[in-house]
Amino acid sequence: MLFLILRKESMQFHNKPPFKTRRLSTASSCIEKYQPLATDWKWYWLDEQNKWCQYGEQDLSGFKSSEVDSNDIEQNYLENLTGQMRFATLQFEYIMDFQKMEQLNLTTKKSRKVRRRPVFVDMKEIDKRKKRSAEIDPRMNRAMSSNMDVSCIPPEWSIDRGLSSDQVLDHFRRVKISESDSRTRDEYKKVKDLFGMSMPAGLISSIERIENGELWMNFASKRDKMKRKKKSGDLNERRLFHGTYHRYVDAICRQGFDFRFSGKSVGTKYGKGSYFSKSSIYADSYTDESKEMFVVLVLAGDTVKGDPSYVRPPPKNPRDPHELYDSCVDDVNSPNIYVIFTFDQVYPQYVVKYKRKSVLEFRCINFLLIHNEL
């Protein structure tokens, strides 16, 4: 019979040789708010008596009771796994470093260890949660379904305005718009003119409007949050282009842009996010022979010069790790490329299909564009 000793600190089974182990868990309850089987995480700090104390718990004096609890810390941690957060007690102010898993007292300069631990759930409780989960409408897992204002639906959408919020979430259509149709003529012309700023508009063969209720409500919610947060109210909302291969078009229409797969064709020169451009001719460089590109609504917000190391925009002030820029660009003064790191800051609005030209013809177009002759 083989006996193994698991050391919690090193997460290794000690035998000959030692075996590394990993803790497996479901998604954090801070992300999956409506998922009964999500993992609830608690945060602890090590006191003078070598005792682990949970954040947010009140002590007798009140001086050690922090203004944050485990839920606050978990949310900040999930936003930036290697970042920092600032918090305070009645007596002191601290900075928590998630990469080092330490908290630093800014007055005494004393550092303490920090831990993140999952709440134990026994099999009996898991069975109860599974039973409750089966009885809940699966659509409740979508955080927007319970308190949605459907009045923000774009006026041009072909959708019944009397639908419930759940029905709006389920709405998906790709609607072909036309210059010959009086109902969509103005809409078509706006997209055509935007495309024509850097490529001949006559190349367009069709334009489809994307009506995706779930993606739109996520985008609208993000827009409202940014409006409340920004004192100036300027969201720097832009309509940009995104070129891609035909095999990805339908997936983007239905599921949006996934920044986790960025860099497959464009690289990550300005960060590991989704890339969008002001010019259609730049987006054309990343399409295949089918020649399709997206026109995308983007909440660019406050921008900063990008960097290959970025997995999210950097802080505006290095001393305040919480206030981040909203997006990265290639040139702050005259941006052409925008990099977005969260799915709800972008909405794929149209799919533009256009005719394929020869390499020589495109070289001529590029030459004329560079010399402002087109």
Quote the CA–CA distance of 195 and 190 in Å, as a whole number. Answer: 9
Q: Summarize pLDDT for 91-135 with one digit per residue, the tens.
A: 788 899 999 999 999 999 999 999 999 988 888 877 776 666 555
pLDDT at 62 (0 to 100): 42
* Burial of 201: CB neighbours in 10 Å, binned 0-12, 13-18, 19+: middle
Sheet containing strand 102-105, strands side by side: 52-54, 41-46, 111-118, 102-105, 93-97, 84-88
Place of tokens 């900063």: 304
Cβ within 8 Å of residue 247, ≥6 positions away:
none
- 10-residue mean pLDDT series, the chain (374 residues): 52 59 67 67 91 74 60 81 81 88 93 92 76 51 48 88 83 95 95 94 96 94 87 84 94 86 64 94 92 96 93 86 90 95 94 76 54 46
Distances (CA, A) of 166 to 145, 149, 362: 6, 11, 46
pLDDT at 25 (0 to 100): 67
- Quick one: which H or E segment has residue 192? helix 185-195
Q: Summarize pLDDT for 255-301 with one digit per residue, the tens.
A: 999 776 555 555 688 998 999 999 999 999 999 999 999 999 999 99
Quote the CA–CA distance of 295 and 242 in Å, as a whole number. Answer: 7
Backbone angles phi, psi at 137, to 5 degrees: -60, 125
